[in-house]
């Protein structure tokens, strides 16, 4: 957590009485059940936060144990985890069994085989840029793998040290145009996750604009192949299903001057804009009338009167 107050950050010492992060404190406990860990930590630290007038909310993935642990607290679903779910479902092994994706599925499979083979033969260190294998639990790793293969293709095709029958056979099966199409499809997701996972500033207000940009990037183009069109449709559907926008996301975006009125956002209805503005007005009136939490913060010296 950032300790610089000038950008609205808050230091660990300011919110945890013992200046220990929740993840570090979890290692000190005997139980291995995550839901019990989170429940215990919430019980241990939340009273201290409330006494100091700290408003707390938790950002977690959508795992059932996380939902259970924080069911009595304000919990916001992690946008980056949700993006990873979207890509994982759209381009996972089950989805790629669809005959419509046969050519793209083959390219992904060949990339995986090539990376494994080059590493197994001890050739990876000979490349100017090494090949990277996909790791399901690592964000954007499919894109990282495809990009690394595409960048290494000139070397793999031209240099004699890579002219081995099994390597050449895989290299010959790769299509630059199809790899480029996959990269173009996945790059906006990488950009969004990098922006939303920034460590030194709040990103809650960026979630709604990020979804808008992703939806725009998935608009079907005249030169898209049938498979890419189908993938874009699948990704758009999954974004609606799994990239959930909570009221907190909309309110944060509305408080950010560039997007106060959500102008140009096709994914946000005017009815939603009115609802968000009304919620903010009600919250402002509540705070101005002396919300209990505000009064407590004044008494504790966190807000000047």
Cα 238 to Cα 91: distance, rounded to the nearest angstrom: 11
- Per-residue pLDDT of 109-160, as tens digits, reads 999 999 999 999 999 999 999 999 999 888 899 999 999 999 999 999 998 8
Helix (H, G, I), strand (E, B) or coil at 77: strand
pTM for the model stands at 0.77
Q: 43-52, 145-154, 187-196: which range is least confident on average?
A: 43-52
**Does residue 15 register a pLDDT over 90?**
no
Task: Tell me the average pLDDT across 271-292.
Answer: 79
Average pLDDT over residues 186-202: 90
Domain boundaries, the chain: 1-77, 82-242
Q: Exposed, middle or buried: residue 235 (CB in 10 Å: 0-12, 13-18, 19+)?
A: buried
Name the residue with tokens 């907190």.
Answer: 248
């Amino acid at each position: 957590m950032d300790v610089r107050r000038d950008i609205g950050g808050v230091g660990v010492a300011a919110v945890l009485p013992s200046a220990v992060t929740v993840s570090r404190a979890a290692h000190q406990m005997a139980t291995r059940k995550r839901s019990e860990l989170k429940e215990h930590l919430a019980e241990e630290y939340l009273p201290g936060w409330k006494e100091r007038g700290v408003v707390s909310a938790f950002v977690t993935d959508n795992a059932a144990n996380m939902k259970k642990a924080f069911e009595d607290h304000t919990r916001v679903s992690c946008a980056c985890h949700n993006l990873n779910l979207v890509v994982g479902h759209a381009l996972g092994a089950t989805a790629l069994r669809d005959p419509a994706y046969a050519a793209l599925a083959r390219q992904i499979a060949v990339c995986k085989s090539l990376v494994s083979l080059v590493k197994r033969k001890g050739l990876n260190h000979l490349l100017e840029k090494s090949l990277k294998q996909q790791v399901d639990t690592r964000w954007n790793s499919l894109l990282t793998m495809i990009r690394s293969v595409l960048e290494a293709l000139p070397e793999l095709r031209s240099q004699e040290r890579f002219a081995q029958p099994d390597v050449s056979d895989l290299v010959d099966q790769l299509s630059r145009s199809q790899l480029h199409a996959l990269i173009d499809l996945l790059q906006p997701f990488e950009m969004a996750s990098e922006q939303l996972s920034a460590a030194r500033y709040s990103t809650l207000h960026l979630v709604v604009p990020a979804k808008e940009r992703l939806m725009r990037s998935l608009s079907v183009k005249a030169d898209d192949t049938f498979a890419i069109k189908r993938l874009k449709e699948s990704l758009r559907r999954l974004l609606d299903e799994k990239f959930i926008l909570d009221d907190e996301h909309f309110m944060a975006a509305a408080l950010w001057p560039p997007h106060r009125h959500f102008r140009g956002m096709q994914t946000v209805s005017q009815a939603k804009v009115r609802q968000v503005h009304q919620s903010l007005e009600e919250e402002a009136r509540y705070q101005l009338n002396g919300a209990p939490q505000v009064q407590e913060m004044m008494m504790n010296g966190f807000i000047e009167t």
